[in-house]
Amino acid sequence: MSDFYQTGVVATLHRLGSSNGHKIARELEAFGRQRPIALVLPALYSEFESEAIHNIIRELAQVKFLNQIVLSLDRAGCTQFHKAKEYLSVLPQNVRVIWNDGPRLAALYRTLEENDLRIGPAGKGRGCWMAYGYVLASQQSDIIAVHDCDILNYSREMLARLCYPIANPSIDFEFCKGFYARLTDRMHGRVTRLLVSPLIRSLTSILGHIPLLVYLDSFRYPLAGEFAMKVDLARANRIPPDWGLEIGMLAEIYRNCAIKRICQVDICDNYEHKHQPLSPDDPESGLLKMTIEIVKILFRTLAAEGIVLDNGVFNSLLVRYVRTAEDTLKRYHADALINGLKFDRHLEEIAVAAFSRGIDLARKSFLEDPLGAPLIPNWNRVIAAIPEFLNRLETAVEQENLPAVKQHVTARATVYAGCG
């Protein structure tokens, strides 16, 4: 059972007492008739080779409150795209698979580039953005929920709790972030525990009261990939194309939504998914790469708020971060001991050292290029530049999701890259 205290500036909806998943699912069926809900699933095809996504599909087959499911598929060839569609064909909802590596989407990417709209390389950020565009184009849903496809212990109650605060008109939030515990026989979530929270608190101790930092520090799991929002936010938000997606999303929500319309919800007792390697010596992979991209987007977001970040601030920050992270580590050690969990203090110290290096590398990158890679533009800008783009996106997705026989006929007419 969770506590019920409200801390920070963001409303926290706790998980109290026994599960009431069936009750809120029934209520969501009624709410969904007035506020239809779309679920966006960013996925790599490799995830279809694990059990996690097949359990997710089995659970979603029993969900009655969803109006749409949009799977945004990356790193998939023609055959893999059709296999993904086949796997999802058991679902009773209105399902579409966006083939991000397909020729139709490639043509749309070229159109964006020709109009000086840069959407970055393939990745989760771009995949989510394209899925939001399809939901906007289809005009079938008022709410968008998002979660990953590698959740090993997924249950449909997670989704119900995520959607409920946005769908229920009595509370009527506009953005809801999921949070949860991450543990097995030990604590996981090193990037949140030992990087993001100590870094935000270190920045606060140096820079003073910054509303944006207070806001970010209010989230119990800021890197969670699970959230729900009104479609208007999907239209207005820009998106980072890399590992800075979650922090960048929270920053955009801060810009575009009143704090009182933002909440976080405890969606499950425990959450288990794949774990990234630390890779402390390789800034191009693992948690070190993630660290650099997260920290860069945090620095750029602060700079956009008018905060001056110079060498003096950064020198103090590096020292302050290490001290704060080490103090935080001691707290987690005590927490693990009282709960009978394993805790390898040496590995935790190695993680702090790697994160400290990542902060320094992010500092250097920021000072060399404060603007960095541009965020993916919001859909309002795309529509202003190319008014017919959403219609073209919807047509491309619908054509790719035609039944195989019809698609074969279409392919002959359009020279569909040999895939039909």
Q: Please report the domains of the chain, with CATH numbers, ordered by start residue.
A: 11-414 (3.90.550.10)
**What is the pLDDT, as a whole number, of residue 19?**
72
Type of residue at 51: E
Q: Which of 37, 15, 258 is nearest to 167 (CA)?
A: 37
Q: Where are the beta strands (DSSP E) in 249-384?
A: 262-268
CA separation (Å) from 60 to 27, 67, 91, 229, 275?
17, 12, 7, 19, 24
| Residue appearing with tokens 């939901």 | 135
| Residue appearing with tokens 């795309």 | 382
For the four alpha carbons of 385, 388, 394 and 400, in that order, the dihedral sign comes to negative
Show Cβ contacts of residue 316 under 8 Å, excluding neighbours closer than 6 positions: 206
Phi, psi of 98, rounded to the nearest 5 degrees: -95, 115
pLDDT tens for the chain, residues 1 to 420: 567 889 899 999 999 877 788 999 999 999 999 999 999 999 999 999 999 999 999 999 999 999 999 999 999 999 999 999 999 999 999 999 999 999 999 999 999 999 999 998 989 999 999 999 999 999 999 999 999 999 999 999 999 999 999 999 999 899 999 999 888 899 999 999 999 999 999 999 999 999 999 999 999 999 999 999 999 999 999 998 777 889 999 999 999 999 999 999 999 888 776 667 787 777 777 889 999 999 999 999 999 999 999 999 999 999 999 999 999 999 999 999 999 999 999 999 999 999 999 999 999 999 999 988 889 999 999 999 999 999 999 999 999 998 754 444 344 344 344 464
**What is the pLDDT, as a whole number, of residue 282?**
76
Q: Where are the beta strands (DSSP E) in 86-153?
A: 94-99, 143-146
- SS3 percent helix, strand, coil of the chain, rounded to 5, is 55, 15, 35
Q: Which of 346, 360, 373, 275 is nearest to 317 (CA)?
A: 360
Residue 37's H or E segment, with its range, is: strand 37-44
**What is the pLDDT, as a whole number, of residue 413?**
40
State the Cα–Cα distance between residues 183 and 317, nearest whole angstrom. 29
State the Cα–Cα distance between residues 387 and 379, nearest whole angstrom. 10
Show Cβ contacts of residue 258 under 8 Å, excluding neighbours closer than 6 positions: 174
Whether the CB-CB separation of 9 and 39 falls below 8 Å is answered with no
